[in-house]
Amino acid sequence: MAILIAMLIFYIDFSVELGVAVGVSYVAVILIGFWARNRSVIIQLAVFCTILTLLGWWISPDGGEAWKVMSNRCLSLFAIWVTGFLCFIQQTKEDQLLESQFRLGTIFNSVPAMIWYKDPQNRILKVNQFGADLMGISAKDIEGHSMAEFFPGEADDCHLSDLEVIRTGKPKFGLVGEWKTKKGLRWLRTDKVPFREKNGEVIGVILFSEDITDSRKSQEQLALMYTAIEQSHTAVMISDNQGRIEYVNPSFCDNTGYSRDEIIGKSTGILKSGEHPKEFYTRLWKTLKSGEIWRGEFINRTKTGTLYPELVTIHPIRNYKGKITHFVWVRIDDVERRQTMRQLQKYARELARSNKDLDEFASIASHDIQEPLRKIISFGEKLSAGYSSVLDERGINYLNRMVDAAGRLRNLVRDLIGLSRVSRDVRTFAPVDLNQILGEVLVDLEFTIEETEAVVEKKPLPSIEGNRAQLYQLFQNLVSNALKFHKKHSQPQISISCKQQEKGEVEIEIRDQGIGFDEKYLDKIFKPFERLHTVLDGYTGSGIGLALCRKIVNAHGGSISATSQPGKGAVFKVKLPEKQKFMSNPIPEDLL
């Protein structure tokens, strides 16, 4: 548009004779360029109008006096450039103002705090982007609205505080409160300053609110930790990296007899008793300076000079740069530990005495019960052999039933004694070759194997740490069960193998092709006196064998399981650790 007007003025200029100051009209073109809000456009238009003015002087019709013509052209050029210069200066100021406003707006919206300007009527006139994000509402939907619309619970108290700032003209700092926002409950720390006009009149209030929710939670956690340490019965001390004491809790003061005023600022050496050599402390500090945790026992001295033992764990503390700045000394009075260990020793002695008495009772009971049973069986067998001719069929039946019942009772007593010995075993473990154990079991069962024409397939077994006698009982019970519960009129088939398992375990599998059982009775078969097959079914036994197996396996830290189907045999799997993990004497001798 400016170009068109310039060309129109140029047309008028060269159409009239010289002496008419048409060129002054180019000022309108410069003003139009000013509306473009671009300084380069103003300069370009001024140059363009200058060219047109000079060109119009050249091609316009002659006329007028020469000095007037020259004056008019100079006046036109002067008007063009004065106007252009003034517009350029004004546009420069406006650009600087816009740039300043942009920078202030950027800062205003980039500050990580909520900034808002309110009038005396509690209306929010301006809010920055951080504040809008915190409130969960866009800035345009906030500005011009009452604070009560967004914070109904906090608006009244906040307004009263605002009015006090407006009335007194004095700022308020460090106002902390909990605000309900769309993002949940937030803790804000707010500073309020009066907003003044040029004449100094306060017309509103500016609020700077910082979200301190995270720091508030951190402070609460620190307060909780401090309270926990203060109320702990464990003595705690914190020193700097030079060993100067900076903090002790009440338990520490109770143990040492020192008050906080007496010990804070002192060296940790104030507790030295002289019982440890210099090398002891040298090794201690070398460990700590290397960033490692030190654990050990001190003999320290109280304020009154009394020596006392204590267990101590010392942890290095690093700052954000990874540099060790402090050490935390956590102390546990060793007297309590010694008392606990002595009590454990007392219980161990009482348990050993009780087990000894129980063992003696079992031995006596075994002799007193088994001896009469042996006589009953012996006399019964003699009666059956020598006097069966004088007994009728019913008498012989009664006699045989008596002998069988006595035999079952003898086996039951033997199994009960074995079960009790497993429970009282002190777990004396040693390396055991399972191949040798299995070989002995098969030799002892040789008569039954030959009688039933059983086929026993065995694969190599490993050596493990275990109780030899108990492992013999384990294999003896499992193999004899496989022989006992075979299908009638069929040859027993038994397979014994082993697999290496993870975590240092071995899995021994004993598989048979016998009568099997329903797996719904799995929980039942490992309980004492539980029998799935009775004498009437043609299978004898006390019902303790598998319970004894489970006790033996548990005593070795292993597990036993079974799978089966009626008529399709059974598979027993025994998992045992290769190495035993517990100590034979868990109580340190120096504490007994």
Most confident of 91-105, 268-282, 337-351: 268-282
Task: Say if CB 128 and CB 108 are below 8 A apart.
Answer: yes
Rounded Cα gap, residues 318 and 273, in angstroms: 29
pLDDT value of residue 84 = 76
Mean pLDDT of 251-262: 92
pLDDT value of residue 589 = 34
User: Quick one: pLDDT band at residue 408, thresholds 50, 70, 90?
Assistant: low
Kindly report the number of other CB atoms within 10 A of residue 69's CB atom.
19
Residue of 530, 527, 529, 532 whose CA lies nearest to 516 = 532
Mean pLDDT of 103-108: 66
Does position 542 have pLDDT exceeding 50, yes or no? yes
pLDDT value of residue 424 = 53
pLDDT value of residue 270 = 92
Mean pLDDT of 216-223: 85
Task: Say if CB 446 and CB 456 are below 8 A apart.
Answer: no
Residue type (1 letter), 271:
L
Most confident of 141-150, 259-268, 410-419, 519-528: 259-268
Mean pLDDT of 354-364: 64
Task: Say if CB 403 and CB 533 are below 8 A apart.
Answer: no
Residue of 371, 412, 445 whose CA lies nearest to 548 = 412
Mean pLDDT of 560-578: 91
Mean pLDDT of 172-191: 82
Look up residue 388 and give its two tokens.
Answer: 């069966």
pLDDT digits (tens, 9 = 90+) for 427-473: 578 899 999 999 998 988 888 888 888 999 999 999 999 888 889 88
Look up residue 413 and give its two tokens.
Answer: 């007593």
Comparing 410 with 151, the larger pLDDT belongs to 151
E strand or H helix that includes residue 180: strand 172-181
Does position 68 have pLDDT exceeding 50, yes or no? yes
pLDDT value of residue 396 = 79
Instruction: Report the sign of the C-alpha dihedral through residues 256, 259, 261, 262, in that order.
Output: negative
DSSP, collapsed to helix, strand or coil, labels residue 319 as coil
Percent of the chain residues topping a pLDDT of 70: 77
Does position 27 have pLDDT exceeding 80, yes or no? no
pLDDT value of residue 283 = 92
pLDDT value of residue 579 = 87
Does position 535 have pLDDT exceeding 50, yes or no? no
Comparing 76 with 555, the larger pLDDT belongs to 555
Of 225-234, 271-280, 529-538, the least confident: 529-538
pLDDT value of residue 586 = 38
User: Quick one: pLDDT band at residue 421, thresholds 50, 70, 90?
Assistant: low
Most confident of 103-107, 174-178, 271-275, 410-414: 271-275
Mean pLDDT of 270-280: 91
Half-sphere exposure of 142 toward its Cβ, with a 13 Å CA cutoff?
24
pLDDT digits (tens, 9 = 90+) for 501-532: 877 899 999 999 888 888 887 878 887 766 66
Q: What does the mean pLDDT of the chain come to?
A: 79
DSSP secondary structure string for all residues of 108-120: HHHSSSEEEEE-T
Of 160-164, 334-338, 386-390, 563-567, the least confident: 334-338
Does position 8 have pLDDT exceeding 60, yes or no? yes
Rounded Cα gap, residues 558 and 556, in angstroms: 6
Task: Say if CB 125 and CB 146 are below 8 A apart.
Answer: no
**Is residue 482 classed exposed, middle or buried when 0-12, 13-18 and 19+ CB atoms within 10 A define those classes?**
buried
pLDDT value of residue 583 = 36
Percent of the chain residues topping a pLDDT of 90: 21
pLDDT value of residue 432 = 92
Mean pLDDT of 138-144: 82
